[in-house]
Chain A
Amino acid sequence: MVDRKSCLLLKFLSAGLAVFLLFFPVLAQDVDDPNPDSPTPVLLSAPDSTRALTALPSKMTRGSRFKSEPTAFALDSQITLYVTNVELMKDEGASAFRLYAEDSRGRMYRFPVLDFQPVKGFDGVYALTVKVRDEIGFWQQPSENGDILVNVTWRGLTSNRVKLGLGKTGGDLKDEAGATPTPLSGVPYNKSSQTPTSEAVGYRWSGDRIRFLEQATFGPTPALDNRIRRIGLRTWLTEQFEMPYPSVANPYPDIPLKPTTAPTDCDNNQTIPDVPVTCARDVYSMYLPQTWFYKEALYGDPQLRHRVSWALSQVWVISGVDTQQSSWLVAYHQQLSKNAFGNWRQLMYDVTMNPAMGNYLDMIRSTRTNPNENYPREILQLFNVGLFMLNQDGTLQRDGQGNPIETYTQNDINNFTKVFTGWRDCNIAASCPNLVQGSGAPDYKDPMLLNPNNHDLTAKTLLAYPGSTTTNIAACTGCTGAAITNYANNSVNQALDNIYNHPNVAPFASKLLIQHLVTSDPTPAYVGRVAAVFNANRTNGAQLKEVVKAILLDPEARGNIKTDPTYGKLREPVQLMTNLYRQLGVTSADGAGLSDGDINRFPSGLAQNAFNAPTVFNYYPPDYVVPGTSLLGPEFAIFNTGTAIGRANLGNSLIFGQINVALPNTPNGTRLYLAELQAIAAADTTSNQLLDVLNQRLMHGRMSSQMRARIITATNAVASTTPLARAQAALYLVFTSSQYQVQR
């Protein structure tokens, strides 16, 4: 039986799919996706306790009772722990592992992993060398007053925890319940402790399918889940890379340019009201791009490009807060989405010349005599290079004193500022297809043009860094007219090359994209693998396609189960909402049509007002550390007591309420589709099936038995005669739980 909602969805999708199949009839082939599961690392302990094994016997004598004396270690000492049950890729080593420690006060530390080597004579055993010193610094260093518990994490999986004496052994800290020794004599441990579901073909790992779709789309749908089960991840990615964007059924809003002094009479016909009455809303507010964006997120086929463009829009930020007309922002988003699977250097150029960015960060009004440092600073600090020199795995380089090394100085900013002077809005009919002369509306869609009189002609010095080539731009002496234009264009390209070739760009961009798509605090190894792909494709027009593929197919992203306590990311408000809508289905308020996309009120109330970021620093900073922890968690910057309850209340609004029709802004309204869950609740009054479905669709099948039992009790407190209310209660509890708010 095909229900009504699926019909609607099908109609919407088929339009796009038809076009797609016309052009790419033979691409969809099954590609064999490997088992995504990495083995779970094991930290070896003494034979008879959970105390860490910190020295090996002189040779491997299986079954012998090698006994390690309890040893304590001093702060700042180097110690070796032993890890087994890992399978390394080429070049995978110390940077793929992290060692976390917890003390008796519940404080969390991270010790730097210095080395990771196979141990000769002990097959499958690796020596992990760490320095006993917290490298995060949220807390002071741990006290040398007894045992701490340590665990090693790798590819989103955690080992068992073993005890380590700090200063002395013993103390208040007890083993975790159920902890057992993991002695050397037990090697080899099970390669994989996980049992993937057994399905015959395609991509069988149901938990990872959901995880993958959370990373690559605005939320899994049963249809997409089925499709990936059938064709696998790689084929789906290929389809996505080639798909037209945006969906045929949802073209970019085509909004006319209007004068920058907003007239009271928006349609300019000298009478009030405007025709249509929504003229001012459409032109001068972000309503149209927002509703377009949400419709594409909820229903569109080219999900991956939409998702990556959304990520890019949170790196290369412009905002409706300072962008007067929605048409400017749409033209800007078109540049981002065009380059989402393209080349980073091209993206740099297109954004630099885009008038909406020119307006937002003031390049459009920066002149030789009155220069403006805004864009030059941010193209370095926020978009490409960052403040400090990075290693290729994204970790900080340090000088002899252990301090980070700054990437540029104010003097560098001054020089880049000169390069970016003299551009203005596009004003020559021949070069500016969107310009309507005589309309009084400046052209903020087409790339900016140079006003040669305003360009700085003096010499400039660019960034010097290891491997930098041309770092000087000579003065343009005696230049006039076209010579200046040529000079300015060449200078900008030289400056952009100088930035693009900075060794920071690959790890900087890679880490940001990983954070937006997969996990907030990726290991250096993961960043390094993606950065290597970025670098290997520097001149490839499809560089970012390779980068996105590398991000999504990395073993740290993939896996049916993720157990690392530090893995995952807090769902940002936009995706918190769209994931629920997509996973269960979303219709118009009357259930007969599609949502109109007028749903920004929800994330907006949770500090994420789409296309209206408060500043160029986006809704949240990428380096935000979760209070009380040693973890990066950008989205936590907008998670506080107020928004935490706001998220619960979002659940209440979505699940128990709907957005009703209200003209003119809400022509259709929006409603979450609950009939399917209702039917399941009606069919099984124990609520077990209901929880099975919620667990599989929302929690990767990893809901704890404790959580499940607690939700079943509360669900069954609702009368079985009201199955919709039961479905709502159970869904509310899953959706509002921290376990769901964190995408793992």
Chain B
Amino acid sequence: MKESRREFLIKSSCALTMTALATQMRHFGLMSAMAQKVDEQTTDSAVPSDYRAMVCIFLAGGNDSNNMVIPNHSDATISNYQTYFNARNTQGLALAQASLLPIAVPRMGGLAYGLHPSFGTVAGGTNPGIHPLWADGKLAVVTNVGTLVRPTTKAQYQTASHPKPYQLYSHSDQVNQFQGGRSDTQTFTGWGGRISDLRTVPDNPNDLIPMITSIAGAQLFTAGQTTLPLAIANAGTSLSAVLNPAGFNTTAASQARLSAFNDLRGMDLDSSVVQAASNVTNQAIAANASLQTFQEVTTAFPTSGIGQQLKQIARLIKKRGDLGVNRQIFFAQIGGFDTHNLQINNQATLLGQLSQAMRAFYDEMVLLGLGDKVTQFTMSDFNRTFNPASSGANVGSDHAWGGHHFVLGGGITASDFYGIATASNGTPFPTMTFNGPDDADSGTGARGRWIPTTSIEQYAATLSRWYGLPDADLPTVFPKIANFTNTNLGFMQPPAV
């Protein structure tokens, strides 16, 4: 019979002396196992009958989504390709219209938009990229998403009393708001972590690993109050080795050392810092045993960092039955998007890696019969200035605000643009005019920092509801959600019944 993670943690602490146990009981990780049942009762306790997972891909550094989703039409009533070209071509940041990968967008009256050419076939690629999935109805774009405390117009933005996200345009703070799921104040937990706090016990009662796994370190998104993420290396390391203490064998002496290695973590917990370190190591050891066997994925994944991260996630999903998990949240990251310079080449490379990796992952999920059960979505620090920074071969762009994001998987409703329409043009795509109605900047030096029309809470809540977070729990996970009327942007199918 399989032993759940809670049983393991409780059992392993029983091996300790009673004094150590008493201390260990106060120990964060173990507390989480038990406290959840008493403290964090959630509103819905039926164990799900299907499997679902959300895969967050963080584009670290602030992706210039102005060059990711581009108007490819000449409709003069809204921002069109010429608007884009005029703003970016002089300095060398405009992509040629012929290079754009066309998508037809129902929400925009069927007008053509274009994806960055890296989302198609790329040199050295192993698959056709994610662009073809638009036509298949598996790829959605949520436009002009960003950090907001309340819906904000330009006039409100210019009003001192209107609440605004703290420290706009600062990497660390905007990352924390995206990952933390609120923009009015700093938080110690992320929205993925808070879902995990609430849903681990009802959804994964027989889990052998935590609800959240990160292949990119334990970042804020993954941190809950009572749950810690599993953080492991990418597929360059076999699952059986990611958490395995090396150098032990079956001799008595070796086993005695291993047993002492484990026991020491139950001692000297009067130091909070020592205790915190021991707790993380305990989580690792608890998960290690369940990762010793796995089946390799079928699809060829790219060798890029993001490719290997998604491959490791695919391995875990393939083994979901063994791990006793019905709901999982994953976190992966691709860095290098802080393109203050050399953007043309660098962003093309990164988006190519992203597209190849997302496509390989999607293909693998389809092979596993989970095409509609696993949803990939992007987040990023912020969008970048529409006005380029520097020029020529060095051209880049600076920190800005609202940007576009991808949602990929069979769980979406249809390939389209989603998000709240801007008052300036009645569509969810911003009016790309310097010092215009959607530009937070004013005056002659305005650089095009779009005021988001859709908050990260609205974006995340739509995903979370599909995942199975009950509506009643939305305010716990997203404390400022009440500031936004529409908490379902419609890009995801309904939750499982």
Contacts and interface: CB of A to CB of B under 8 A. Distances in A.
A607 B233 CA distance: 11
Contact of A627 (B168, B228, B288): B228
Given A627-B228, A645-B244, A714-B256, A362 B276 contact: no
Given A365-B390, A565-B270, A711 B260 contact: yes
A413 to B, nearest CB: 8
B276 A636 contact: yes
Given A372-B340, A607-B217, A641-B287, A565 B245 contact: no
A170 interface: no
Nearest to B245: A648
Interface string B22-66: 100111100100010001000000000000000000001100000
B263 A106 contact: no
B464 interface: no
Interface string B237-249: 0000011111100
Interface in B251-287: 252-253, 256-257, 259-261, 263-265, 267-268, 270-281, 283-285, 287
A137 interface: yes
Nearest to B440: A410
B261 to A, nearest CB: 6
B225 interface: yes
A641 B283 contact: yes
Interface string B161-198: 00000111111110000000000000010000000000
A368 to B, nearest CB: 11
B253 A739 contact: no
B217 A638 contact: yes
A106 B225 CA distance: 13
Contacts of A76: none
A641 B276 contact: no
A739 to B, nearest CB: 5
Contact of B390 (A102, A372, A568, A725): A372
B341 A362 contact: yes
Given A406-B167, A714-B256, A739 B341 contact: no
A480 interface: no
A105 B31 contact: yes
Contacts of B223: 627
Contact of A628 (B28, B61, B340): B28
Interface string A618-652: 00010001111101010011111111110011001
Nearest to A636: B276
Interface in B201-247: 214, 217-218, 223, 225, 228-233, 242-247
A713 B256 contact: yes
Given A614-B335, A645-B245, A629 B276 contact: yes
A264 interface: no
A642 B276 contact: no
A641 B231 CA distance: 5
Nearest to A372: B389
A414 B35 CA distance: 49
A629 B228 CA distance: 12
Interface centre among B26, B39, B61, B259 (most CB of A within 10 A): B26
Contacts of A648: 245-246, 261, 281
A105 B35 contact: yes
A718 interface: yes
Nearest to B280: A644
Contacts of A652: 245-247
B77 interface: no
Interface string A398-409: 000000001000
A395 to B, nearest CB: 15
B399 A373 contact: yes
A542 B270 CA distance: 40
B121 interface: no
Given A367-B390, A645-B288, A565 B243 contact: no
Given A568-B273, A628-B28, A640-B231, A710 B267 contact: yes
Contact of A377 (B169, B246, B259): B169
Interface residues of B, number: 81
Nearest to A739: B268
B485 interface: no
Contacts of A614: 335
Interface in A576-631: 607, 614-615, 617, 621, 625-629, 631
Given A642-B284, A704-B267, A738-B264, A362 B388 contact: no
B396 interface: yes
B277 A617 contact: no
A656 interface: yes
A89 interface: no
A374 B340 contact: yes
B390 A370 contact: yes
A241 interface: no
Contact of B218 (A640, A717, A742): A640
Contacts of B28: 106, 627-629
A415 B420 CA distance: 34
B445 A617 contact: no
A729 interface: yes
B97 interface: no
Contacts of B35: 105
B427 interface: no
B126 interface: no
B239 to A, nearest CB: 12
B391 interface: yes
B273 A567 contact: yes
B257 A733 contact: yes
A551 B274 CA distance: 23
A744 B340 CA distance: 41
A267 to B, nearest CB: 26
B274 A742 contact: yes
B413 interface: no
A695 B259 CA distance: 20
B338 interface: yes
Contacts of B280: 639-641, 644
Contacts of B246: 648-649, 652-653
A711 B27 CA distance: 22
A381 interface: yes
Contacts of B60: 615
Interface string A513-525: 0000000100000
Nearest to A161: B270
A725 B251 CA distance: 13
Contact of B278 (A137, A568, A738): A738
Interface in B77-95: 91
Nearest to B184: A403
Contacts of B217: 607, 637-638, 640, 642-643
B27 A106 contact: yes
A567 B229 CA distance: 25
A582 B92 CA distance: 53
B19 interface: yes
Contacts of A629: 28, 272, 276
Contacts of A718: 253, 256-257
B394 interface: yes
Nearest to B219: A637
A152 B19 CA distance: 23
B281 A645 contact: yes
B398 interface: yes
B389 A565 contact: no
A414 B232 contact: no
Given A106-B27, A369-B391, A741-B277, 13 more contacts: A362-B340, A362-B341, A607-B217, A626-B272, A627-B228, A631-B276, A639-B280, A641-B281, A642-B232, A710-B264, A714-B257, A717-B257, A739-B274
The 4 lowest CB-CB distance pairs between A and B, nearest first, are: A106-B26, A640-B231, A717-B256, A714-B260
Interface of A: 102, 105-106, 108, 137-139, 177, 361-362, 365-367, 369-374, 377, 381, 387, 406, 410, 413-414, 520, 565-570, 607, 614-615, 617, 621, 625-629, 631, 633, 636-645, 648-649, 652-653, 656, 704, 706-707, 710-711, 713-714, 717-719, 725, 729, 732-733, 736-739, 741-742, 744
